[in-house]
Amino acid sequence: MSLKSLNNTQRSAVEEVNGPVLIFAGAGSGKTRVLTHKMYHLIKEEHYKPENILSVTFTNKAAREMKNRVLDLLKTDELDITIGTFHSVCAKLLRKEAKHLKVSNYFAIYDVQDQLDLLKVILKELNITKEQLTPNTARNRISYFKNKMISPKEQLSKARTGIEKNIAEIYAKYQKELISNDALDFDDLLLYPLELFENNPKILLKYQKQWRYILVDEYQDTNRPQFHFLTKLSEKHRQICVVGDDDQSIYGWRGADVRNILDFEKFYPSCKVFTLEKNYRSTQQILDAATAVVTHNDKRAKKNLSAQNGDGEKLGLIETRDELEEADAIISALEKEIKINKRTFSQFAVLYRTNAQSRPLEDSFRKTGIPYNIIGSIRFYDRKEVKDVLAYLRLVINLKDTISLRRIINFPARGIGMKTMDKCVMRSQDDGIELFEVLKKAKELPIRGKQSESLIDFYKLIKKYHALRNKLSASELSRSLIEETGIINQYKQSSDLEDKERYENIAELLNSIDEFSIKKPSSSLSEFLEEVSLLSDIDHWNDSDNRVTLMTVHSSKGLEFPVVFLSGLDDGLFPLYQAIEEKSELEEERRLFYVALTRAQERVFLLYSTNRRRMGGENVVGMPSRFIGEIPADYLDRIEFQSALTRRVVGGPKNKVTKVTVMRTVTTFDDFKVGDIVEHSIFGVGKIMVLSGSGENQRVGVIFKDGTKKKLIVKYANLTKIN
């Protein structure tokens, strides 16, 4: 296969394989295409063995997409190439080299909730109250130190105030407890390889020889540990290619350093630089508006994006009275787009700055019956019942995991309370043995006989499956264990609707383990747990569902949609108040706005409110975001939204106004009866099958011609009788 499908700059970047390469890839300029073709070129033309190539990115979704594309290019079903996220690559490396570390190859990976649970225990032991320091604040500070590669000892030496000394002490104890739990957190996954390389030069040399060529996606989002990881691996061959866009560096709050990409030439003076400026996603109007905003930043590489999809329409700008009217305005514009341009729900995305902004949007979508997916709500694997089952599985794999042990010791209920656990912990400390091993000595503890029997039974149960962990498949072990615990029957037999949902979630979890076992027959339960722990919100997003997508701008990174609504563009909300006074933070907010606009392929709507309810219930008079003011007026179409029922579209220059009035017809309440044929602006013609309530609360159940079934509130549904 040739590289004829690439443009000249893309092809030059792909064919440059001698020494370091830096590729500035503007939004929608085909960076994934370049990376995958480069891997193809390295294998086919430069005779690199697949196992000698390492490709890292930031999401599992991107890694899967990249691998599938390479497989397609090479026309093969399997490829021994390492393509994954930084965390997954490092986790696998650490398990292989565990004998050189303080943890076993079965180490647990603690997510945010696990970290908080551990910190709660530590704060309690240190007699630090929530008023003095919350577990979340402690976690954030510890993560900050790790991202800056500051050890507990270093931080303690720097501490000057009482609170700083407390945090340093907590940090030290936290790291000690992680080791005793045979666990690592996400930051440790990046730090431990550096420690491994530093203490074992032969291991570093082994991986330098293995990964002779390194490719990095989204390089602008790398933090200090990731930078050092890549530098160490590439210092022998200096065959590294990084791709990124400094204008899309939006993760400074979690340690990403845009200087890594801007200063790449300083670290690799001999590097070749390519800039991809042909955009294959958005229209020129969208690109020019986005560029006009981001050019207000000082720290950026100059690039001029040229759209291959024509000029397109201007960006719609809508002023609303409050967040409720803002949601109505989005629904109204969405309906018009569906009618005029025959769009499907999946072609729309509503983006916002913070998760809290989703509530009025969700309310409006539910009321009008429009299906939606929300990214950033409780992940499937973060649901309580799912985490409970996962905790059982994690403890079976790793008997030192006290956080999982504490979570499930009384689930299902065994009559084991906090006081009993405190006695177990004290015995563990006094005897210098693992907390889990204390359980088999329960009869020696000062507790009631029934409680001691429960502890011993629990010990035997976990021990039994621990012995079977390498003898049974992940699927067999999981199903047998969960059945024996009685968890699934407890929920199945309950008449509570929430319990029914919990049962279904556990059943779905077991199904996912079945699928994992079928897909990877030789893989262990430990590998399944690792895969789950490294998933992000966006990895669960299914773009094949015909639903409107609601998400934060951060979550939208790397995605694209024909139509994007960017809501909540009030100054102080986007950009956030706390970012306005700090230049570097304001620049990151501006890059975030740039990312939001460049998710759109064809159409963008910008919305702000003159009055918005903020945290605490107070109403705040709003001003349009300063970023709107940085867009030249020629790129904007002002849309005056008057109410949920009427709107006027105002276009053209400000001194030359044209008005078009669009009326939304609403049938009077109580006009409907079962059997009526009605028309909905989105779903089309349907028949009322069920009717309930009256007045403003009247609800109808409708079956539409395409088979779609909807329960709608008449007040909001905008139904018209047609018989």
The token duo for 383 is 């649901």
The gap between the terminal CA atoms of the chain, to the nearest Å, is: 60
The single-letter code of the amino acid at 189 is L
Decide: helix, strand or coil at residue 458.
helix
Catalytic residue among 59, 220, 248, 451: 248
Q: How far apart are CA 638 and CA 606, in angstroms?
A: 10
Catalytic residue among 31, 139, 224, 394: 31
Which string of b and e fits 680-698 if b means at least 16 CB within 10 Å? bbbbeebebeebeeeeeeb
Residue corresponding to tokens 């939304």: 664
Q: Is 484 a catalytic residue?
A: no
The single-letter code of the amino acid at 104 is S
Backbone angles phi and psi of 413, in degrees to 5: -55, 130
DSSP bridge pairs for 320: 609
Q: Is 218 a catalytic residue?
A: yes
How far is CA 124 from its chain centroid?
Answer: 31
Catalytic residue among 114, 217, 337, 388: 217
Q: Is 217 a catalytic residue?
A: yes
Cis peptide, bond prior to residue 412, ω within 30 of zero: yes
The token duo for 419 is 């006081």
What's the burial of 242, exposed, middle or buried (CB within 10 Å: 0-12/13-18/19+)? buried
Q: How far apart are CA 175 and CA 177, in angstroms?
A: 5
The single-letter code of the amino acid at 62 is A
Decide: helix, strand or coil at residue 566.
strand
The token duo for 84 is 């994954």
Q: At what angle do helices 497-519 and 474-485 cross, to 10 degrees?
A: 160
Beta strands in 175-289 (DSSP E): 183-185, 213-216, 240-244, 272-276, 278-279
Q: Is 155 a catalytic residue?
A: no
Decide: helix, strand or coil at residue 614.
coil
* Whether the Cβ atoms of residue 30 and residue 276 lie closer than 8 Å to each other: yes
Catalytic residue among 281, 599, 626, 710: 599
Q: Is 31 a catalytic residue?
A: yes
* Whether the Cβ atoms of residue 599 and residue 564 lie closer than 8 Å to each other: yes
* Gyration radius (Cα) of the chain, Å: 28
What's the burial of 474, exposed, middle or buried (CB within 10 Å: 0-12/13-18/19+)? buried
Q: How far apart are CA 426 and CA 430, in angstroms?
A: 6
Q: How far apart are CA 601 and CA 584, in angstroms?
A: 29
Q: Is 259 a catalytic residue?
A: no
Beta strands in 485-524 (DSSP E): none
* Whether the Cβ atoms of residue 415 and residue 197 lie closer than 8 Å to each other: no
How far is CA 393 from its chain centroid?
Answer: 24
Beta strands in 595-676 (DSSP E): 600-609, 611-613, 619-621, 636-641, 646-651, 658-663
Residue corresponding to tokens 């849309």: 639
DSSP bridge pairs for 110: 185
* Active site (catalytic) residues: 31-32, 217-218, 248, 599
